[in-house]
Amino acid sequence: MLILSELPYHPPAAFFAALLQADGLVLEAQENYRKQTYRNRCLIRTAQGVQALTVPVVDGNRAEKVKTSDIDIDYRQNWVHRHWRTLQTAYGNSPYFEYYADYLHDIYRTKPTGLFELNLAFLRLELRCFRLTLPVTLTTNYRVPGHPGAPGCLDRRDWLSPKAGGPGPDSPAALSVVRPYPQVFGPGFEPGLSVLDLLFAQGPAAGAYLG
């Protein structure tokens, strides 16, 4: 089975749980950019609660449609520094932050021009963290919803979304595919957070909490 998905920024752990039984991942590279999605944001948990980290993009608000793969990152804003300092503050004392920090920081420091390029670099790293070796391909034409392409291709585009009534995701699927694990900040377990939350808490054992 192939899974068709948009390309998120540090997606929720549920994204990787869905890939465990997949034979391959097909990333939608021909869609038009959509605001207020995981394409340019992720959710983490801080001492103040759930917080969104958003990558600013150039022309993301203009009226005409732009392909996600053509969206550039707005480096006029010092977002790289803000994101990294926020991750350090939130997770610096977590068991495995230092285990992954250099790999993540190296990607941030390359400052890719495009959002798609940035997200793909992080996705390949995170797949390696879970030892997921499934092939990743990009669409060459837009897949109409309901017709995702070849037989056996499951359309999971926008299955997960940060746009609920509060700061959490609106997909109930995220609640059932990741087992609760000890998080840095409590009380209680907060589902739907970025996969970074799980990796920083559980390190190489993170895969045991998927599914």
Q: What is the pLDDT of residues 77-135, one digit of tens each?
A: 999 999 999 999 999 999 999 999 999 999 999 999 999 999 999 999 999 999 999 99
What is the model's pLDDT at position 170?
47
Helix ranges (DSSP H) in the chain: 13-17, 79-91, 97-110, 115-129, 195-202
pLDDT digits (tens, 9 = 90+) for 2-53: 999 999 999 999 999 999 989 999 999 999 999 889 999 999 999 999 999 9
What is the model's pLDDT at position 59?
75
What is the model's pLDDT at position 168?
45
pLDDT digits (tens, 9 = 90+) for 182-195: 999 878 899 889 99
In whole angstroms, what is the distance from residue 57 CA to residue 2 CA? 29
What is the model's pLDDT at position 167?
41
What is the model's pLDDT at position 191?
87
Range of 58-67, 171-180, 184-193 with top mean pLDDT: 184-193
pTM for this prediction: 0.92
154 versus 64: the higher-pLDDT residue is 154
Helix ranges (DSSP H) in 111-182: 115-129
Question: Hey, where are the domains in the chain?
Answer: 2-209
Q: Are 65 and 51 in contact (CB under 8 A)?
A: no
What is the model's pLDDT at position 148?
60
Q: What is the average pLDDT value for the chain, to the nearest integer?
A: 90
pLDDT digits (tens, 9 = 90+) for 119-169: 999 999 999 999 999 999 999 999 888 766 667 889 999 989 887 544 445
3-state secondary structure of 12: strand
* Res. 70: pLDDT tops 70: yes
* Cβ atoms within 10 Å of 84's Cβ, excluding its own: 16
What is the model's pLDDT at position 107?
98
